[in-house]
Every structure is written in structure tokens, then in C-alpha cells.
Structure 1
Amino acid sequence: MTKTLVITGGTDGMGKALARAYLDRGDTVVVVGRDAAKALPGAVFIGADLSLIGENRRVIEAVNERFPEVDALVLGARFFRTRRFVTADGVEGTFALDYLSRFLLSFGLAGVRLIVNVSGPGQPTGLVHWDDLMLERGYDGMTAQFQAGKANDLLGVAFAARRGDRTGYVLIHPGGVATSVAGEYDETTAAHVEALKRHGMPVEEGIRPIMARIDDPPAAPLTAFMRERPIDVAGPAFDRRAAERLHALTLEVIGSKGWPI
């Protein structure tokens, strides 16, 4: 039986490799990105800047109308910023793309059976800057990335509490993969990225644990993996109170009116 997949970040790196793998199987693949020229032939392309709240709403409406049933939503869009950037919505750029977009798409797409959030699950507590979510004080690119990664852990917890009876949520770290790692880097960070490209595993290897979760979805409402290794989602990294606190703050950021959240 063929599948329908929606992939953000599906025009580069692992997202593109995932799209190719499922297109080769004869599945329907919807790719959300900014550059139609980079989408694979045969994929359904939806152009959008996912760092913007309104653009996420437009994608949600388009997918819900055309694809009311989706087997898997793969959340992979990300962009590293050495310097702090604020979107037109007034949201810090990494928080907007790496977390807020994933929040909106997770809750907004109506007929999804499985969500695979490609992030870095199981990170320690204390990475969310509760009194400064937009990192107005002392911004650093890695700080922004770590906060977004921790926020995605908590997103999985909050989502499972609300939608776990109908949609499974998987948090997964694919390991060190030699991929494009889109971003704007300072000299030091750029050197680390180039080293990853030289020494990381090929994207075809990196996507294997992601495909395994899509092809054989876990039964539990929330699961997390470091590649194939399960991570305990009952541990302190997935604190329910912190998840609810972030959920409430996120609704304040987006303004919840009109959102199915």
C-alpha cells in the first residue's frame, strides 16, 4: 500500500534523500521548502518560508485540503544563525523555524498518522530560557539551537498528551550526517560544519532509522531515539510540567485564535 508523506526541509540533505527514497517506492511525497528548483521531479512542492506564522497556516490549509490523510509528517527544516535574527512576526529566527513551525504543523495538520521530528531528543533540562525565549540577552547560535532542540522534546510531550490517541509522535536524532547543514556561520562554526561534512555518515545511512520508524511506527504515543537506540521518555528530559509551561507560552507567541491547538 502506498504512503503519503509531508517533508519539511525536503529539498536538501536528509530531507531530499527521504523524498527520493519514498518517491522511488511509488509513494506520494509533499515537500515544503523555499526553492522549487531544488525539489525532486515527481514530488508535490509547496513553497513557503516556515519561519513565518502565516506561511505555516497557508501550508496547513493547502495540505489539509489536498491530502486529508497523511501517513507521516517529517519535520526536518532548520537553519543555523550565528547572528540573532528576528522574523517579521517578531520571533527569534531559530525559535521560529526550528521549533515554532514544528509546533504549528504538528497541531495544524489534521489527518496525520505519525509525526517524525528530526531533532536531538533527550537533552538535559535547563536549556529553555523561560524568561527570555527570544534570546534578546546574550544571543549565541548554539544556545538558540539547544533551546530549540529542548523545546522539541517538550513539544512531543505536549502533543502526546493531547493527540496521542490518534497520532504517534517520534523524536529522533539521526547521528552525525554529512549533509548541507544550512545556515549563516562564523568562521569557527563553519569549520565544525565542514568537518562534519567530511567525516559524517552519508545521508543514505543517516535516513535509515527515520525510514524504519515511518515504515514500522511505534505503538506508543511518544517515543524518542538516538538512531536505533530508544531514549526513555519517562525521564526528566521530558518533564510534563515544563511541556505544559512551554505550550502555554507558545500559544501566547502565536496568538491561539483560529488555530486547532
Structure 2
Amino acid sequence: MSTLVITGGTDGIGKALALHRLRRGDTVVVIARDPVKGRRLLDAARADGVPGRAVLVTADLSLLAQTARAAEEIRAAFPSVDALVLCARHYRSRRTETAEGYEENFALFYLSRHLLGEALAAPLARAPHPVVVNVAGPGAGLELIRWDDLQLRHGYHGGAALGQGGKLNDLLGVGYAERHGPAGIRYVLIHPGVTATGFSGEYDAATVPHIRSMRRHAKPVEAALPPILDAIDTPPAEALSAFVEGRRIGVDTRAFDPVAARRLRDLTEGLLAQP
């Protein structure tokens, strides 16, 4: 049996994945911001009579302190972790800063994934076939990154924030594979396609019709699971790989530039080192 850690595990793809793996008998650690939704997931698991073990860790991953505390709690309870699946994100039509002073999308969609991957590297390395699955949207161009304004203080747009966040996660995967691939940890970037999830977010009036249209045409959650399950069950041999709707794409292009990945890591470490 495996031990999985899932962010965004109380809605959409994350929830469906959690319940699927619990039915297989795995231990599933769900990091959830909303304790009510977390308890509903545990209740749903109990109602299903699943053989697996569900563990809830409550944390707001847009806050670095809570992300670090969640990782510490997981490390203390689970010396070995087979898979870390990163699903949590939240759309905001208006720019919002967290209590710690970070732009909310940047903190949740990028910084939390960076911190969790690094904090759980040791328990992942102890597993026989460890993998980090980053559900984002690989393959876009580097032009999405505003290197001089990563937190979008100027000209903020919710779609641009998520687009840049997805690109930052591509480079996060490049850098992670470079550092932790030798320890056997595989990093898989996955875009499952437009899926009928909860579309977590706060939308302005101009964005609502677009979200309604996406919901009408989106694939069911269950259809998004196969590539994620494949990555967990049989991680690719390469340290880094990327898939779009089940189709493998190359990671040897400029879109996955290791120099840009190192630049991003340097900027990230400098930002996190600030008091």
C-alpha cells in the first residue's frame, strides 16, 4: 500500500483522486484549507467503507507559515511518502495579498508547491518509486513570466496570474528534477484538460460567463484521473516528464530552460530569505 499527500484534495480532481486511492487501500493525506470540506471528505470515505486510511491536515497553503507547519506535521507522521500530488489553486479576479504580504496566486499556486516539494523530499526519497505530480499546465512559453514583477503588482489580471503560475511550475519541475532526480524522485507535470472541477475562485462579472461556458464543456472529473494515476503507479524513468491530456510532450525545449529554472530558484530563495 502507498502513502499519498494531496493538496486541493477536498474538491474536483484532488477529491476524486483521494477517494479513488482510498478505495484501493492506500493512506491518503489531504491538505485542506477548509476544515468543513475536510470533514466531509472523511465522512464520504467512511460512508464508502473504503479500506484505506484518510488523514486530514488543515492548512491555508497561501500562507508560508501554515505550509511549513503542514509539511512538518506530515514528516513527523510519515517517514516515507510515495507520491505528492499538487492540485490546489484559486482564481482571483482582483489582486489580493496574503497576511504575509505575497500575492495570493503566486503564494498558493507556486510558492506552496515549491515549499512542499522541498520539505517532503526526504520522505519521498525513502519510498521505492517516489513521484511528485504537479497538476498545472505544462508547455507554455517563457514569455508568460514577468521576471521583473513576479507578483503582478502592475497590470494584474486573474488569467495572467494563473498563466504565469503554470509556467513557474514548469520551471519548478525542471529545477526539482535537477536537484532531486539523482535521489530517484520523479517529477511529472500534468495538464488533464478542462475538467468539471469546483472552479475554485472569486470571479468578477466579466469572467463569470466564461467560467459557465467552461463548466458546460468540461470533461467529467473521472476522465481526468488516468494520466495522474499512471504517473503515480508507474512513474516515468526520466527525472522530469510532462503530459497534456495524456499526450507526452518534450521537456528538452526552450519552454523548460534549465537556465531560466535556476534564475527562478535564485529569485525565489532571495524572496523567501527576506524578513
Note if 1:111 corresponds to 2:110: no
1:72-108 per-position Cα deviation (integer Å, ceiling 9, x unaligned):
0000000000000011221111000001100000111
Hey, which bits of structure 1, 4+ residues long, moved more than 4 A?
none
Taking the aligned partners of 1:211 and 1:158, their CA distance within structure 2 comes to 23
Pair 1:184 & 2:202 matched: yes
Structure 2 counterparts to residues 191-206 of structure 1, below 5 A: 191-206=209-224
Q: For 2:176 and 2:105, how far apart are their aligned partners in 1?
A: 21
Which deviates further from its counterpart, 186-195 or 85-94? 186-195
User: How far did 1:28 drift?
Assistant: 0.2
Which stretch of the first structure deviates more once superposed, 94-103 or 108-117? Answer: 108-117
2:189 is the alignment partner of 1:171 = yes
**Alpha-carbon distance in 1 for matches of 2:220, 2:256:** 30
Indicate if the aligned counterparts of 1:53 and 1:254 stay in contact, CA closer than 8 A. Answer: no
Whichever residue aligns with residue 66 of structure 1, its letter is: A
The one of 203, 208, 214 aligned to 2:232:
214
Partner Cα distance (1:3, 1:55) in 2 = 25
Aligned with 1:176: secondary structure? coil
Instruction: Give 2:55's match in structure 1, choosing from 7, 26, 44.
Output: 44
Instruction: Say which SS state the counterpart of residue 207 (structure 1) adopts.
Output: helix
User: What is the alpha-carbon distance in structure 1 between the residues aligned to residue 20 and residue 141 of structure 2?
Assistant: 33
Task: Give distance in 1, aligned partners of 2:218 and 2:33.
Answer: 26
Q: Does 1:58 align with 2:75?
A: no
Decide whether the 8 Å contact of 2:63 with 2:99 is kept in 1: yes
Q: Any gaps of 5 or more consecutive residues in structure 2? A: 43-52, 125-129
SS of 1:43 mapped into structure 2: strand
Quote the residue 1:151 is aligned against: 168
2: distance between equivalents of 1:195 and 1:62? 40
8 Å Cα contact 1:9-1:76 kept in structure 2:
yes
Q: Give the whole-Å Cα distance in 2 for the aligned partners of 1:169 and 1:82.
A: 30
Q: Find the aligned partners of 1:227 and 1:107 in 2 and give their Cα distance.
A: 27
Residue of structure 1 equivalent to 2:89: 78
The separation in 1 between residues aligned to 2:171 and 2:59, in whole angstroms, is 25
Aligned-residue CA RMSD in angstroms? 1.2
- Aligned mates of 1:68, 1:256 — CA distance in 2: 30
Q: CA deviation at 1:255?
A: 1.6
Q: Which has the higher helix share?
A: 2
Q: Number of aligned residue pairs: give it.
A: 256
TM-score, normalised to structure 2's length? 0.91
